[in-house]
Amino acid sequence: MNTGIIELLAFGLAAIIAGFFLLISMVRELTPNQRRKWFLGIGLGTGIIAFSLKIGLIVIFSLFPGPMLSLFPEREHELASVIASTDQRNDSRIFKTPYTWQALPTSAPYPEDNPPTAEKIKLGRKLFFDTRLSADGTLSCASCHVLTDDKGGGDGLTASIGIDGKQGTRNAPTVFNAAFQKVLFWDGRASSLEGQAKGPLINPIEMGMPSLDHVVNTVRNIPEYQALFSSTFPTRPSITIDTIAMAIASYERTLITPDSPYDRFIRGDSSALTDKQIRGMALFESTGCILCHSGPNFSAASLFSDDTPYRIFPSIPNTVYEKRHRLNGDLGAAPKDNGSDRGVWRIPSLRNVTRTGPYFHNGSVSSLEEAVRIMAHVQLNKAISNRDTDDRSIQWLNSNKRLRVESHQALSDTEVEEIVAFLESLEGKLPISQQ
């Protein structure tokens, strides 16, 4: 029994004894009538008994906290510690937080000058898989953007292999749900799918065509394409690089995955996510991941966001991760003449991220768990630790003579696993007809 409890017990016993004698004195002096003595005695006595019981309970709870607390139902954790039993799967278990979660639309938006048609989508699919659009006839768009669930719209390589076995320096971004992004490529240099489709065709270490005119001439000289383009674009006299790109972009706008467990959960199926994924979802918000990976496509670079599509990466300098994974070897969209060693990159979508490794612009990280740790540390300045003491920071603010205490400053291994479990809920499948 600690000192505080002993002092409380001593005070309580003294108060009870004093109250007892005070009760006797008041009954004798204030109420000469026998009947009124009983009423006053019962009233005051009840108060003393209630006070005595409270003191007793406090002492018992202090001496035996475990057994006493086990008599009461265990409370569910809140936010990052949310656990809902399987027999309580209903809307009431969905916690309220400031952030509004959104499901992915079931169709992608398109520009006014390129509305989708069945013919255009069919033509775009044919072009997407056609290796004749590369200089050596060995590569197509689908070579680096594999439309299978296990590849997730990427190729699974650290950096993609182009013509003549040339390897690039950047990891292939997924084509899945690219239709919802407002800028494309890792450095965001294309502002539409139509613009993006032209880039790899003439990149010397990708498909390697000498020029866009050469691409057009190649397509024009394939007899089957002449009829297809004429029927698909009846108002355009001939095949152009624009109509080629418009067809490919129209097909790519069908490569969306809006039926993930997360989407079903947001649309009302409260059983779509596991309890572990719910905890990871809460951690995703409370840790700060939503500052960049927000909206239905989990990217501030999406068409749903008014935020800047770019972030400095890594934003925290000189970390062990920066050196280990060569994160500054390529600076992306950062100005080349400002002397900065910080890269600037488009914020990627996290949909199907469990399938699109290895991770980051250089494909230097093979584990999603490790990628989560890196992002938490180099972007959000979180410690990666299982020690409780690392989860809270205390700073003295001399200007106003106050302490600032900040909690949730670290991610434990368990919390990393829970965030990854939530990211698994973003896995969706393409319709078989589009593969």
Residues with a catalytic annotation lie at: 206
Tokens of 370: 């490790």
CA atoms lying within 13 Å on the CB side of residue 243 = 22
The residue assigned the tokens 């939503």 is 290
292/379 Cα distance (integer angstroms): 10
For residue 215, the Cα-to-chain-centroid distance in whole angstroms is: 39
406/70 Cα distance (integer angstroms): 31
294/379 Cα distance (integer angstroms): 15
Rounded to the nearest 5 degrees, what angle is found at the Cα of 325, between the Cα atoms of 320 and 326?
100
Q: Which residues, at least 6 apart from 48, have a Cβ–Cβ distance to it below 8 Å?
A: 16, 19, 20, 23
Q: What's 151-192 look like in SS3? A: CCCCCCCCCCECHHHCECCCCCCCCCCHHHECCECCCCCECC
Q: What is the DSSP string of 205-229?
A: TTT--S-HHHHHHHHHTSHHHHHHH
161 phi, psi to nearest 5 deg: -100, 125
296/206 Cα distance (integer angstroms): 31
Q: Which residues, at least 6 apart from 5, have a Cβ–Cβ distance to it below 8 Å?
A: 58, 59, 62
